[in-house]
Amino acid sequence: MTTISPAAGTSAAGRPPAPHVPRPTLARTFLAMMARELRVLRKNFVSTFVRVLMQPLMFVFVFAYVLPKIGGGAMAAGGGSGATFATVLVPGLVGSSIVMQGVMAVVFPLMMELNWQRSITDRALAPLPVPLLAVQKIAAAGLQALIGGLLVFPAVLFIHADGQAPSVHVDNWPVLVLVLVLGSLMASAGGLLLGTLIDPQKVQVLFALVLMPMSMLGCVYYPWAALDHVRWLQIVTLLNPMVYVNEGLRAALTPQMDHMSFWAYMGVLVVSTALLTWSATRTFTKRVLT
Amino acid sequence: MTPSPEIAVRTVDLHKTYSGPRGGVQAVRGIDLEVRHGEFFGLLGPNGAGKSTTIGMLTTLVVPTAGEASVCGYDVVKRSVDVKRRIGMVSQNNTLDSDLTAFENLEFRGRFFGLGARDARRRADELLEMFGLTERRGGNPFELSGGQAKRLMICRALVHRPEVLFLDEPTAGLDPQTRVNLWEVLRGLQAEGQTILLTTHYMEEAEALCDRVAVVDHGRVLASDTVDGLKGSTGADTVITVSYDGDVPDGVRALDRRDGISKVELGEGQVRVFATAPDGLLGELVTAAASAGVTVTDASQLRPSLETAFLTLTGREYRE
Ligand SMILES: Nc1ncnc2c1ncn2[C@@H]1O[C@H](COP(=O)(O)OP(=O)(O)O)[C@@H](O)[C@H]1O
Ligand SMILES: [Mg+2]
């Protein structure tokens, strides 16, 4: 046990004359918080992204490499336009990674911050309005989602059996960037909303009841248009926000395949990102301020 | 409420009712406080008195249901960001950032408050040095001992040189040696002019540190004064409590007419005497029992202290 004598001479810890109080701008504080997220991301990079990559990696390996090799011909008929299954999977797996990553990047830390020791008070005491703190959380988790999605790209592009290469060509870069960014933000805003509404004992339920069906029925493994054989499901899936990310990516990456119209996916992405951000900001503020 | 420069913290009729499934909990029911710059102010009260709620409202994280509060002249609700810029807060539980090292906890706190990256690192090292934590610089904050973690939290609250430092039960759960060390730290800060508002449920902590103390219970301030003033204003200096296994002897009942005794409270088989001249009184109460043929089951004498003040104010013994 060390003994301490902060009184020793200096006035470093003491009350300074009022004018010496730093006057941080909101932007500076916001950026400093993003810098903290990047520092943490850098430290945990390997563990975080091994987790992100494993599922899509295994998936393309089995469905774009193993199954075609052993003659799983039925799997290769996605899209109805003679496209390989790998072509269907590229946008789907990138999109679902973005959404899953966006939700998890915000929900897991939030469960700790809001409950165990309530360490959120630390961030809430920074000179930033609490709603802006919510926006910062969405931005930070959105960034992780985007990185997660981008990391999946090489895996799904390059792992496939001979003759099963996906055919990807980007016609419209702005659309691609917009879908990636909006999809990331929508997912993290949705994650923040869920994370502030759900109580920590029910996180497992969140995964079982929300994320699992959302990704299985998110038009990841088939384009939405192909669902017209199961009309009711085609309509029900319109409630799933992940569908619009995947369809948007289909339009941007594999335009030769059936995909939703620009106004459909872009409209929903913009509106739901805005709505989710707005409501998550409110629920977050309610949880932080008592 | 007009801001006045010499007042660091002010509350006027502050209320907080938590809404819950089983109706509201009235945690704070009309608290008025005034803390001047440079002062070491204590909120003393038992568990559940409303101390954390009050400090929560002053640090903008708990929203008052009625009344007003301001820090350095800024309203805690309408100008919360201005308030946050000027305060440091050490909460009761460990809210250190477990994703960062001890050093990074300070570094980023500095950056949140507008320091440049280099200044923030310099300030972090300076504080670690000052608080004897340099060896723990790269460690995880959850590997620190209780006293070290508390010191790191104090460092973190001081990074941006706040005008008012709030501490919520800073020594709760610490061993006596660590507690005394922490008292030294806090005294050192005050000596440099740091305004401090601390809550505690330890009487001796309030006595040891604070210039002025507000005694709170059930969400209200019972009395607010200097430690000496509180002891003096209670009217009785020493409190003697004696319990009997039968009725209180008759001789005891007549005591309140005697000089040097301010009050006699009679309870079921118990008498409590508030006296300014307590010499020999305890013996007398015991003897009275013997001559009345009852047995004394318990006897205690409390010297003048905040504890006797609390007893006089509330009629209840202080429960920590
Ligand atoms: N978030 C909350 N929701 C509901 N009731 C609360 C909450 N926080 C505190 N209380 C209640 O308010 C009262 C005062 O609590 P608190 O301010 O923590 O007291 P202290 O810090 O003096 O021990 C207690 O009855 C406590 O149970
Ligand atoms: Mg408390």
Look-up of token digits 């004992």: A201
The reply to whether residue A22 touches residue B114, judged by beta carbons under 8 angstroms, is: yes
Residue A114 is which amino acid? L
Number of domains in chain B: 2
DSSP assignment of A34-80 equals HHHHHHHHHHTHHHHHHHHHHHHHHHHIIIIIIHHHTT-GGGGGGGG
Q: Which residues contact B90 (CB under 8 A, 6 or more apart)?
A: B150, B153, B154, B157, B165, B166, B167, B168, B170
Mutate to test the interface with A, among B17, B111, B168, B182 (most CBs of A within 10 A): B111
Burial class (CB in 10 A: 0-12, 13-18, 19+), B20: exposed
Within a domain: residue B249? yes
Q: What is the CATH number of the domain that holds B128?
A: 3.40.50.300
Candidates B66, B113, B122; CA nearest to B89 is: B113
pLDDT at B319 over 70: no
Positive/negative CA dihedral, B84, B85, B90, B94 = positive
The per-residue pLDDT for range A49-68, each reduced to its tens digit, is 787 788 778 877 887 788 77
If asked whether residues B27 and B141 sit together in one domain, one would say yes
Within a domain: residue B319? no
**Structural domain for B251, as ranges:** 237-303
Within a domain: residue A2? no
Burial class (CB in 10 A: 0-12, 13-18, 19+), B235: exposed
Edge-to-edge strands, sheet with B40-44: B87-90, B164-168, B195-200, B40-44, B212-217, B220-226
Report which of residues B26 and A54 the model is more confident about. B26
What is the CA(A63)–ligand 1 centre distance, in A? 56
Q: Taking a C-beta distance cutoff of 8 angstroms, is the pair A137, A214 a contact?
A: no
Candidates B119, B309, B136, B157; CA nearest to B228 is: B309
Q: Taking a C-beta distance cutoff of 8 angstroms, is the pair B54, B31 a contact?
A: yes
- Whole-number pLDDT of residue B66: 94
Whole-number Å distance between alpha carbons of A123 and A125: 5
Q: Of the candidates B227, B260, B292, which is a domain's last residue?
A: B227
- Whole-number pLDDT of residue B231: 74
If asked whether residues B58 and B166 sit together in one domain, one would say yes
Q: Of the candidates B227, B252, B281, which is a domain's last residue?
A: B227
Within a domain: residue A34? yes
The reply to whether residue B194 touches residue A13, judged by beta carbons under 8 angstroms, is: yes
Within a domain: residue B18? yes
If asked whether residues B97 and B13 sit together in one domain, one would say yes
| Letter string b/e over residues B127-141, b meaning 16 or more CB atoms within 10 A of that residue's CB | bbebbbbeebeeeeb
If asked whether residues B209 and B272 sit together in one domain, one would say no
| Ligand 1 atom, smallest distance to B20 CA | 4
What is the CA(B221)–ligand 1 centre distance, in A? 16
Q: Taking a C-beta distance cutoff of 8 angstroms, is the pair B277, B284 a contact?
A: no
B-contacting residues in A 79-118 (Cβ below 8 Å): 112, 117-118
Report which of residues A32 and B320 the model is more confident about. A32
Whole-number Å distance between alpha carbons of A222 and A242: 13
Within a domain: residue A126? yes
Q: Taking a C-beta distance cutoff of 8 angstroms, is the pair A249, A95 a contact?
A: yes
If asked whether residues B251 and B209 sit together in one domain, one would say no
Whole-number Å distance between alpha carbons of A218 and A189: 18
pLDDT at B287 over 70: yes
- Whole-number pLDDT of residue A77: 47
Pull the structure tokens for residue A226: 């192909």
Within a domain: residue B309? no
Within a domain: residue B115? yes
The reply to whether residue B91 touches residue A35, judged by beta carbons under 8 angstroms, is: no
Q: What is the CATH number of the domain that holds B249?
A: 3.30.70.100
Within a domain: residue A3? no
**Structural domain for A285, as ranges:** 29-289
Share of chain B above pLDDT 90, in %: 48
pLDDT at A239 over 50: yes
ipTM value of the model? 0.82
Within a domain: residue A5? no
Within a domain: residue A246? yes
What is the CA(B7)–ligand 1 centre distance, in A? 27
The per-residue pLDDT for range A12-51, each reduced to its tens digit, is 344 444 444 456 789 899 999 999 999 998 998 888 878 7
The per-residue pLDDT for range A161-217, each reduced to its tens digit, is 877 778 878 878 999 999 999 999 999 999 999 999 988 888 888 888 888 888 888
Within a domain: residue B103? yes
- Whole-number pLDDT of residue B55: 96
Number of domains in chain A: 1
If asked whether residues B136 and B249 sit together in one domain, one would say no
Within a domain: residue A79? yes
If asked whether residues B108 and B201 sit together in one domain, one would say yes
DSSP assignment of A205-239 equals HIIIIIIHHHHHTSSSSS-GGGGGGSHHHHHHGGG
- CA A280, chain centre distance (Å): 15
Report which of residues B47 and B238 the model is more confident about. B47
**Least confident range of A212-226, B26-40, B68-82:** A212-226
If asked whether residues B33 and B171 sit together in one domain, one would say yes
Q: Taking a C-beta distance cutoff of 8 angstroms, is the pair A241, A186 a contact?
A: yes
Report which of residues B238 and B36 the model is more confident about. B36
Task: Write the CA distances from A145 to A41, A138, B170, integer angstroms.
Answer: 12, 10, 39
- Whole-number pLDDT of residue A287: 92
| Ligand 1 atom, smallest distance to B216 CA | 22
Nearest to B97 among A16, A29, A122 (CB): A122
pLDDT at B188 over 70: yes
If asked whether residues B75 and B213 sit together in one domain, one would say yes
Residue A109 is which amino acid? P
The per-residue pLDDT for range A90-115, each reduced to its tens digit, is 888 889 889 988 998 899 889 888 88
Within a domain: residue A247? yes
If asked whether residues B92 and B66 sit together in one domain, one would say yes
The reply to whether residue B100 touches residue A36, judged by beta carbons under 8 angstroms, is: yes
Within a domain: residue B315? no
How far B5 CA lies from chain A's nearest CA (Å)?
Answer: 10
If asked whether residues B151 and B272 sit together in one domain, one would say no
For residue A15, give the DSSP letter: P
pTM of this prediction exceeds 0.90: no
- CA A141, chain centre distance (Å): 7
The pocket around ligand 1, CB under 6 angstroms, is made up of: A 290; B 18, 20, 25, 27, 45, 47-53
Within a domain: residue B218? yes
SS3 track for chain B: CCCCCCEEEEEEEEEEEECCCCCCEEEEEEEEEEEECCCEEEEECCCCCCHHHHHHHHCCCCCCCEEEEEECCEECCCCHHHHHHHEEEECCCCCCCCCCCHHHHHHHHHHHCCCCHHHHHHHHHHHHHHCCCHHHCCCCHHHCCHHHHHHHHHHHHHCCCCCEEEEECCCCCCCHHHHHHHHHHHHHHHHCCCEEEEEECCHHHHHHHCCEEEEEECCEEEEEEEHHHHHHHCCCCEEEEEEECCCCCHHHHHHHHCCCEEEEEEECCEEEEEECCCCCHHHHHHHHHHHHCCCEEEEEEECCCHHHHHHHHHCCCCCC
If asked whether residues B202 and B252 sit together in one domain, one would say no
Whole-number Å distance between alpha carbons of A94 and B86: 45
